[in-house]
Amino acid sequence: MTSDKEAWDVVITPKRMWLGLNLKELRQYKDLIALMIRREFVSVYKQTIFGPLWFVFQPLMSTFLYMFVFGNIAQMGTDEIPQALFYFSGTMLWTFFATTLQKCSDTFINNAGLFGKVYFPRLTMPIAYVTNAFFTLLIQFAVMLVFYVYYLANGVQFSLSWWILTTPIYILQLALLGTGFGIMISALTTKYHDLRNLVSFGLSLLMYATPVVYPISSIPVRWKVLFQFNPVAPVIEMFRYSFFGKGSCNLKMWAYSLIVSVVVFLLGLMTFNHNEQTFIDVV
Amino acid sequence: MSTAVKVEHLSKEYRLGVIGNGSLWKDIQSWTAKLQGKPDPWTKINEESRIGKRERFWALKDINFEVQQGERLGIIGRNGAGKSTLLKILSQITAPTEGVVKMRGHVASLLEVGTGFHPEFTGRENIYLNGAILGMSKADIDRNFDEIVAFSEIEPEFIDTPVKRYSSGMYVRLAFAVAAHLNSEILIADEVLAVGDVKFQEKCLGKMKEVSEKQGRTILFVSHNIGAVRQLCQIGILLEHGAIVFSGSADEVATEYVKEIGC
């Protein structure tokens, strides 16, 4: 007989974890994460004619539509930022956040078949989703720079600020918010599928509560209080301020949004950890 | 020889009934009542709590067994005996309600052939994807790639075609070929051989036996095919209504099972 004191590699107990990232385990599955990112990325354009161009069509079309509807018909201001740049940057960032949130919130439901048959760290999927959205964002960012150079060449002055250096923080914030809310909802939707309908509907409404198609400066003062609750709003405003030198730079709101991002992410991680082991019984 | 798998007092309970309309509302009501120290408003008459005895079901009850390293254990039993639940717990797909499982070595589970195959991807891409899902590293797959293709008996010119164009036989053979080359110390397999033709089944059984004997791998195997269990396994357990009713050598257990179902 062997003694019980020997080291076991795998111990399965009914206990459920709240907080904590098993980084060692995630590192073991790094090849899987890389392949999942590729799978997500490539499956967007497999068997399409335009291929990877699909990654930029969507924000471009939205930008043209917004220029027409909000810029020309509704005559809404853009803080004197060229319309194309204003709408494109907003859509690009919003899509990054919204896609991450939506994909992550479907983690358990979309992968029920896979999760029901084989074990791997469940966080692999949200990580793949957010990374995939990030690559899409990078491509779109490159397109934005093309617009940028075009306007520069046509004599438009941008007062670049040093805030441009904090761009990675804005992106990280959106990633934390999207993933955090997403995995939190994913843990809840396994039991209550209602939330799923709410997400796509809620996201499209929330876009209008975020300065995507209008600048914060165009909001009447008495409504501005409401904007303080939206953690995505200051990120988009700060991004525009950094690159175009116009718009609002409200550090208090940005600090608030930073704290919210971290808290949301940790809460999301907790609910996700707590549910990943038993979700298959209730999905 | 050391113990590879040790299962102690393992139990799994499921809640019966539907999680449907109003369950969120009911949950909130039950929960607020609990906070206020009032009785649960959804308690049925003559029941201690809302989730009473009738709504609960033990799929597994107090399972204990040990498997030594290099042994091949067959798990048999009728439908609903708890075989799949047991494998799901061992594979970490769902957590047990009570008890502990301890395992030594890397565990790979094969509860379905071709898990994670993406129809749009080619055979080559799917070998990598499927291998990674089952816990292989890219380097492992690189090393075994040619062997996997050879084992699957798929002509090399098909390997760069999306698997959605494969025949179902090719699909299954490719999937099993990946699984057969897993380098885990413990392999958990459920009914995977129910697919594929007889000749390929034989080949798979042979491969599993070979890796177990040569490399000292531990195998936990579930099947309704008594012949396959006899051929592959040395020891076995017979499950019935979530409990072990008989254990012994694979032959004895198979005989007992056949006697019990009366044919």
Q: How far is A157 from chain B (nearest CA, A)?
A: 47
Mutate to test the interface with B, among A24, A33, A118 (most CBs of B within 10 A): A118
* Cβ-Cβ contacts under 8 Å, A47 against chain B: 120
* Cβ-Cβ contacts under 8 Å, A2 against chain B: 2-3
Residue A100: the pLDDT is: 96
Whether residue B93 and residue A119 make contact (CB cut-off 8 A), yes or no, is yes
Please give the full DSSP string across B46-85, using - where no structure is assigned: T-SSSS-GGGEEEEEEEEEEEEETT-EEEEEE-TTSSHHH
* Cβ-Cβ contacts under 8 Å, A29 against chain B: 132, 135
Q: Decide: B110 and B179 in contact? Cβ < 8 Å.
A: yes
* Cβ-Cβ contacts under 8 Å, A278 against chain B: 94-95
Tell whether the model's pLDDT for residue B261 goes beyond 80. Answer: no
> How crowded is residue B198: how many other Cβ atoms within 10 Å of its Cβ?
8
* pLDDT tens profile B125-174: 889 988 888 888 889 899 999 999 998 888 888 999 988 898 888 888 88
Residue B49: the pLDDT is: 47
Q: How far is A32 from chain B (nearest CA, A)?
A: 5
Residue A5: the pLDDT is: 52
Q: Decide: A261 and A231 in contact? Cβ < 8 Å.
A: yes
User: How many beta-carbon pairs below 8 A join chains A and B?
Assistant: 113
- Return the higher-pLDDT residue of A237 and B179: A237
Q: Does B42 touch chain A (CB under 8 A)?
A: no
Residue B18: the pLDDT is: 59
Helices (H), B183-249: 198-215, 226-232
For B98, the enclosing helix (H) or strand (E) is: strand B98-103
Residue B121: the pLDDT is: 83
Tell whether the model's pLDDT for residue B53 goes beyond 60. Answer: no
- Token pair recorded at residue A162: 């040093």
Whether residue A277 and residue B94 make contact (CB cut-off 8 A), yes or no, is yes
Averaged pLDDT for residues B32-52? 61
Residue A77: the pLDDT is: 83
CA A39 to chain centre: 19
Contacts of B114 (CB under 8 A, 6+ apart): B130, B171, B172, B174, B175
Quote the mean pLDDT of chain B: 82
Q: Is B122 helix (H, G, I), strand (E, B) or coil?
A: strand
Q: What is the pTM of this model?
A: 0.84
Whether residue B128 and residue A8 make contact (CB cut-off 8 A), yes or no, is no
- Which of these, B173, B163, B169, B159, lies nearest to B120 by C-alpha position? B163
Q: Decide: B60 and B86 in contact? Cβ < 8 Å.
A: yes
Whether residue B91 and residue A119 make contact (CB cut-off 8 A), yes or no, is yes
- Return the higher-pLDDT residue of A276 and B90: B90
Residue B196: the pLDDT is: 66
Q: Does B164 touch chain A (CB under 8 A)?
A: no
The residue of chain B with its CA nearest to that of A189 is B24
ipTM of the complex: 0.76
pLDDT tens, residue order, chain A (283 aa): 444 556 788 888 876 666 666 777 888 888 889 988 988 888 777 777 777 788 888 899 999 999 999 988 888 888 888 999 999 999 999 999 999 999 999 998 888 888 888 888 889 999 999 999 999 999 999 999 999 999 989 888 887 778 888 999 999 999 999 999 999 999 888 777 778 888 888 998 999 888 898 888 888 888 877 777 889 999 999 999 999 888 777 888 899 999 999 999 999 998 888 888 777 777 6
Residue A168: the pLDDT is: 94
pLDDT band at B80 (very low <50, low <70, confident <90, very high): confident
Q: Does B57 touch chain A (CB under 8 A)?
A: no
Residue A81: the pLDDT is: 87
